[in-house]
Structure 1
Amino acid sequence: MKKLAILLLALLLLASPAIAADTIKLGAFFDLSGRAAFIGTPTKLVAEMVVDKINSEGGINGKQLELVIGDTEANPAKAASLAKKFIYKDNVVAIIGPTMTDTGMTVKAMAGKGKTPIFMTVGGDPVIMGGKFGPFDWVFKSPQRSSIAVQRLFDYLRAKGLTKIALLSAADGFGKDGARWIKKLAPEYGIEILAEESFGTRDTDMTAQLTNAKNANPQAIVTWTIGPAGSIVAKNKAQLGIDLPLFQCHGLPDPKYIELAGSASEGDRMPSTKLLVADALPDSDPQKAVIQEFIQLYKEKGYDKQFPINTHSGYAWDAIMIVANAMKQVGTDKAALREAIENTKGYVGVSGIYNLTAEDHNGLDTSSMVIVQVKDGQFVMAD
């Protein structure tokens, strides 16, 4: 009996490496709880959806992708702990996520130290900026850079003759990043910032900031935040009777924004991926077919019933697809994989057409974005 047990154990130990060799592990951590769970949870579902698609089509050179899922809980310390686990215990080939700029910055250096590519789904630019923000060699991100969203917004404002604005921004990493780019790029576009106000992401009233903004006599109000805070700004603006156009950032094109703000959101405009207005895209747009396939798969899974499609929906799809395409070229050696990701050219994704370089670990330009507007409780192309 003892000999049989030893033999079985030996067979299991011999079999384990073979089993492991048939799968490729990707770490994937998102805010599945906490203040950004409304973004993180559907992002996880999309990550699983795209991995299922890749595996059903033969995987990566005959091997199946396996996601190792973690919940960052909107907590930078938790994100750091998970990143360490992914790299040193789970031995993942690459990491997808996290959800928020602040948590992304916490794990940025860890990815570099562990020499593991990480493709983030965060909005802010510092994760892929060097200098005082630290090296970004191993870090990539799929959402448009804040700077690109600001440029797309400023193109629109200038075209509409709206050159005097008041700025309201959140006091977190994402809000500060947006404010930094707005102030830096404004002179290039002839935009004048007449007032600048800040608020906490958990604040429930922004009437003081909006009153100060109104008193500066701007032509428009620009807000930079994600989550419920943006809807609160819209509602407070309506309550105060402020008759000025409101522009939100690229993190808020989401049916949830309209649900929370109600009729106060009517007319609000913001830069967005093309995902929200897929039917309005011309057939000549290379992204249209990709976006339509994504929407079809998303609805077939039934995800849209709980998490309606929004501008964030495609970020995990694009991140995993780019990593998978790179692995098909060079395999799973981390250094080779990092270089292949960095040299991605012409990848047509849900969120844009990606052309990455050593200097730009995002690879999207302003042509990947449109300006959308709330009309009759729906997002449409802005006039």
Structure 2
Amino acid sequence: MKKTIVAALALVLLALPAVAQETIKLGAFFDLSGRAAFIGTPTKLVAEMVVDKINAEGGINGRKLELIIGDTEANPAKAASLAKKFIHKDKVVAIIGPTMTDTGMAVKAIANAGKTPILMTVGGDPVIMGEQFGPFDWVFKSPQRSRTAVERLLGYLRDKGLSRIALLSAADGFGKDGAGWIERLSASYGIEIVARESFGARDSDMTAQLTKVRAAAPQALVVWTIGPAGAIVAKNALQLGLALPLFQCHGLPDPKYIELAGAASEGNRMPATKLLVADQLPDADRQKPVIAEFIRLYRERGYDQQFPINTHSGYAWDAILLLANAIRQAGTEAEALRQAIENTRDYVGVSGIYNLNALDHNGLDVDSMVMVEVKNGRFVLAD
């Protein structure tokens, strides 16, 4: 009798649905506090949105995704601690995030040592560059490379006949990365940098740097930073009567920038993802239906009430779907998954069409970006 009961219980247990440990665990950390929380918080919301979408559609190969959320607090040491926790305690399959280049660099070596794929949502290139920046075998990123944004911007400047520029950049990892690419590539576009100034990412006045810029008589001003600093430069330039076309980087196309800079934002131009001008895309654009679905879900959740859609909004969507597609193909064994991500071809995302390889762990080209301009308080495609 006892053996019969045991056998019956075993059959019942086999018939039960998958239990919690069968979820696919993903670490996800962003700046939910600190100076980049305005990017990190909505990025977290989008990560949750896309995971809910995947799970509602049956998960991946019958398994649900589970996000383990962390706040990096814009602190590289905190990011490093969280990365170690994700890998060694939580035993995650992969990591999504962080938000900033500096925090990304703090966890790059940790992900490589832990042989855990990480799909970053940072702007700077060093996270997927080798040589002095260290190996990047396990590191991928969904936002365009700074180099890609620089090439889009320099090509536009050349086409507009603006060959003498002044460059202002933040003294953080992101600012240095963008400035470095401009310095390396500008000559090949026939562009001369006639003034070069930097500022602290949290500085509240850049008048001194702009005064030096004016003395150099450039034809255009290029600024490379994220956050309020970009708006401060725009306002300082207007206050000084600096009558120069102002170009910001791909980190600033955001309604918040227009709000902070006010009238000083009018006419400013910058490279951006197509998400920012979705209603102006031709119907033949392969990204258009993907972007439309993203916008629909984002608005259904009411996220746009607090965090209006901006150029950063789709990065977590793309990172998680790149990962999900790779898991469908290769499963969750670490090396097989890493190779599947690296071999991604023709994934049509919100931020572009991705084609990765062993040397390029981003996979987006210049055509993934458009130039936008602030006109009458909103972003439009630049002429």
Residue number in structure 1 paired with 2:225: 225
Aligned to 1:83: 83
Question: What CA distance in whole angstroms lies between the structure 1 residues aligned with 2:240 and 2:227?
Answer: 21
1:99 partner amino acid: T
Aligned to 2:380: 380
Could you say what secondary structure the match of 2:137 adopts?
coil
Residues 151-195 of structure 1, C-alpha deviations (whole Å, 9 max, x = no match): 000110000000100000000000000010000001110010000
Look up the equivalent residue of 2:315 and give its one-letter code: Y
Partner SS, residue 326 of structure 2: helix
**Alpha-carbon distance, 1:19 to partner:** 2.0
Gaps of 5+ in 1: 1-13
Inter-CA distance 49–182: structure 2 relative to 1 (3 Å threshold)? same
Q: In the alignment, which residue of structure 1 is the partner of 2:6?
A: none
Judged with a 3 Å threshold, the aligned counterparts in structure 2 of structure 1 residues 130 and 15 are, in CA distance, closer, same or farther, namely farther
The residue correspondences of 1:129-168 to structure 2 (distance < 5 A) are: 129-168=129-168
Aligned to 1:347: 347
CA distance in 2, matches of 1:284, 1:315: 23
- For normalisation by structure 1, the TM-score amounts to 0.95
Counterpart residue type for residue 35 of structure 1: R
Matched to 2:70, the amino acid is: G
Task: Name the residue aligned to 2:306.
Answer: 306
Letter in 1 for 2:166: A
Deviation per CA, 1:59-80, whole angstroms, max 9, x where unpaired? 0100000000000000001000
Tell me the distance in 2 between the aligned counterparts of 1:88 and 1:16: 29
Distance 1:231 1:59, change over 3 A: same
Question: Which residue number corresponds to residue 8 of structure 2?
Answer: none
**Match in the other structure for 2:10:** none
Partner residue in 2 for 1:70? 70
Q: Is the counterpart of residue 170 in structure 1 residue 170 in structure 2?
A: yes
* Shift in CA distance, 176/111, structure 1 to aligned 2, threshold 3 Å: same
SS of corresponding position for 1:61: coil
Per-residue CA deviation, residues 306-334 of structure 1 (Å, 9 max, x unaligned), is: 00000000000000000000000111101
Which residue number in structure 1 is paired with residue 199 of structure 2? 199
3-state SS of 2:168 partner: strand
- Aligned AA for 1:19? V
Hey, what's the Cα distance between the residues in 1 that align with 2:168 and 2:101? 18
Distance 1:17 1:191 in 2: 63
Map of 1:329 onto structure 2: 329
Could you tell me which runs of 5 or more consecutive residues in structure 2 were left unpaired when the two chains were aligned. Answer: 1-13
1:78-111 deviation digits (Å, cap 9, x = unpaired): 0001000000000000000000000000000000
Q: State how 1:1-383 maps to structure 2 within 5 Å.
A: 19-383=19-383
Change (3 A) 1:15 1:73: farther
Between the aligned partners of 1:70 and 1:258, the Cα distance in structure 2 is 30
TM-score for the superposition, normalised by structure 2: 0.95
Count, aligned residues: 370
- Secondary structure of the 1:105 match is helix
Find runs of 4+ consecutive structure 1 residues off by over 3 angstroms: 14-18
1:205: Cα distance to partner? Answer: 0.2
The percent identity for this pair of structures is 79
Q: Secondary structure at the match of 1:119?
A: strand
Gap change, CA 1:82 and 1:15, over 3 Å in 2? farther
AA partner of residue 124 (structure 2): G
SS in 1 for 2:102: helix
Higher mean Cα deviation, 135-144 or 20-29?
20-29
Matched to 1:111, the amino acid is A
Q: Note the C-alpha offset of 1:214.
A: 1.1
Q: Distance in 2 between matches of 1:16 and 1:360?
A: 43
Tell me the equivalent position of 1:5: none
How large is the Cα RMSD of the aligned pairs? 1.3
Q: How far does residue 16 in structure 1 lie from its aligned partner after superposition?
A: 12
Residue 346 of structure 2 aligns to a residue in which SS? strand
What are the Cα deviations for residues 188-234 of structure 1, in whole angstroms up to 9, with x where unaligned?
10010000000000000000111111110000000000000000000
The structural deviation recorded for 1:17 is 12
Which amino acid letter does the alignment assign opposite residue 186 of structure 2? A
